Structure 1
């Protein structure tokens, strides 16, 4: 099976940084809060997630998407076995002390993105949660383990952070996702608020849409706040990247709400200087 077309630089870390955390992005500022020694590994994790996301979301032909994802399934298995071939895989192998131990996370992450090839709508929140936990929660667990004092216990509290970050991303990216035919808002919740998928795709605003988005925003905010409070006191200082991500996501949700949820025709984002300040402050808050 052919490998996805990617430039193969001599510096794997540089490739990962360009893929996952270009200057000015939220990931860029979140990763800069991590201990210097762990930044290359964390950046490689972010790059892997971005590769998988592009594989399924930026491909208009589902057949091509499945072909590429099948390649990544083989590549992540080869990575866990110590035989990487892709730049991101090489970076992960070089910077992870025990990449074989992360094999379950790799499988879960790929399986999560595979769901994007199988469905573009979710009947209810319980079904959507399966996707969120694989793509968001499992990934956050890997980020947490990279710097945690007790990596074995990280999944117990980090997964909720990843889930909350995904919910916030759904709010921010609703318009862009809809243009690709994906709506990560449960069908029963659309019906509850009297909003149709066609209205979202056609960028139609209204009071019903505002109330729907207020509910989505509040759920994302409450999930993030509860998850942040659930970080053990002994781990708060070790989780600067996740805490920075959480703070930026909360600030963004506030910004979106102030703009009356005008997310269908534009992607509302924080300015780089705000991201820098929020991430720096959150990472150092006790």
Structure 2
């Protein structure tokens, strides 16, 4: 499996308490379907943006306490009301999806982090709210984990994103390491490329480690789920390194064979795990 912040939703996980399956599935349906509007198919940008704006109007109805005629939003409204989920987090997700429709380059790391703040961090914040564990300290560590997962997804998907004419590598980093867009088009892996990717991998790993203590701070099932997510992200980074940063010809993923290893590692987990 790839490391993707929507794939990391514990929708079908046996670790998810029965009482939270409905709200998690409702959140997932919203995020996954909106993301697909932005990314899948061949609809023109204006059509994609109009469809995402329909989602925004539905959120406004929920906020006003008005009924929706769409089953997905009726379901989502019930979960928002029952668990007091912050509607601005759903709007942040929509902002990120809308940005993906039109924005294809990022000038620097702060600009990329701002995208991750809206595309990835709301997922962790919503999960913490469901578990009633959204303290300021927990939210900060969750943001670090979610942003790291988003960055890891970018680095394993450089080739896929290029096919969509998107580059998430910060332009100033590319210039500093001497990597051009032409090099991406040629899929040329040389010392400059490896240095650039090593820098990005190290940065994503450091961010993951800064949030990793959350996986032991949270009790019970959410802690176990989070340990598996953290360990999975770190393993993908190792695999990017193992293929010499050639993510053009070797897209690192996790499969069934990794499941037992990650489970064993979760038992012996500590926040500084490598």
Specify if TM > 0.5.
yes
1:91 to 1:261, Cα distance in 2 relative to 1, 3 A = farther
Alignment equivalent of 1:67, drawn from 50, 67, 73: 50
State the distance in 1 between where 2:87 and 2:8 align.
27
Correspondence for 2:28: 46
**Residue 183 of structure 2 corresponds to residue 214 of structure 1:** no
Superimposed CA distance per residue, residues 36-60 of structure 1 (whole angstroms, 9 cap, x where no aligned partner): 3223322332332222221112244
**Residue 17 of structure 2 corresponds to residue 35 of structure 1:** yes
Correspondence for 2:61: 78
Task: Report the number of matched residues.
Answer: 262
Q: Taking structure 1 as the reference length, what is the TM-score of the superposition?
A: 0.80
**Residue 92 of structure 2 corresponds to residue 108 of structure 1:** yes
The more displaced of 183-192 and 138-147 is 138-147
Mapped contact 1:73–1:110 kept (Cα < 8 A): yes
1:192 to 1:31, Cα distance in 2 relative to 1, 3 A = farther
Q: Which secondary structure does the structure 2 equivalent of 1:270 belong to? A: coil
The more displaced of 27-36 and 253-262 is 27-36
Correspondence for 1:55: 37
Structure 2: which 5+ runs fail to align? none
1:99 to 1:166, Cα distance in 2 relative to 1, 3 A = same
Displacement of 1:26: 5.3
Structure 1: which 5+ runs fail to align? 1-19
Displacement of 1:233: 5.6
State the distance in 1 between where 2:175 and 2:191 align.
14
Mapped contact 2:45–2:102 kept (Cα < 8 A): no
Superimposed CA distance per residue, residues 47-82 of structure 1 (whole angstroms, 9 cap, x where no aligned partner): 322222211122442112211211121123334435
Superimposed CA distance per residue, residues 188-219 of structure 1 (whole angstroms, 9 cap, x where no aligned partner): 00111111123213322222111111111111
Displacement of 1:276: 5.5
Mapped contact 2:34–2:97 kept (Cα < 8 A): yes
> 1:270-281 maps to which residues of 2 (within 5 A)?
270-275=254-259, 277-278=261-262, 281=265
State the distance in 2 between where 1:48 and 1:264 align.
31
Correspondence for 1:282: 266
Displacement of 1:31: 3.7
Mapped contact 1:33–1:241 kept (Cα < 8 A): yes
Q: Taking structure 2 as the reference length, what is the TM-score of the superposition?
A: 0.83
**Residue 144 of structure 2 corresponds to residue 175 of structure 1:** no
Correspondence for 1:144: 128
Correspondence for 1:14: none
Mapped contact 2:11–2:24 kept (Cα < 8 A): no
Mapped contact 2:11–2:25 kept (Cα < 8 A): no
1:146 to 1:263, Cα distance in 2 relative to 1, 3 A = same
Q: Tell me the C-alpha RMSD between the 2 structures.
A: 2.8
Correspondence for 2:229: 245
1:213 to 1:142, Cα distance in 2 relative to 1, 3 A = same
Mapped contact 1:247–1:279 kept (Cα < 8 A): no
Displacement of 1:103: 0.7
Displacement of 1:91: 3.7
Q: Which secondary structure does the structure 2 equivalent of 1:151 belong to? A: coil
Displacement of 1:94: 4.1
Superimposed CA distance per residue, residues 102-142 of structure 1 (whole angstroms, 9 cap, x where no aligned partner): 21111111112222123110111111111011111122111
State the distance in 1 between where 2:128 and 2:191 align.
39
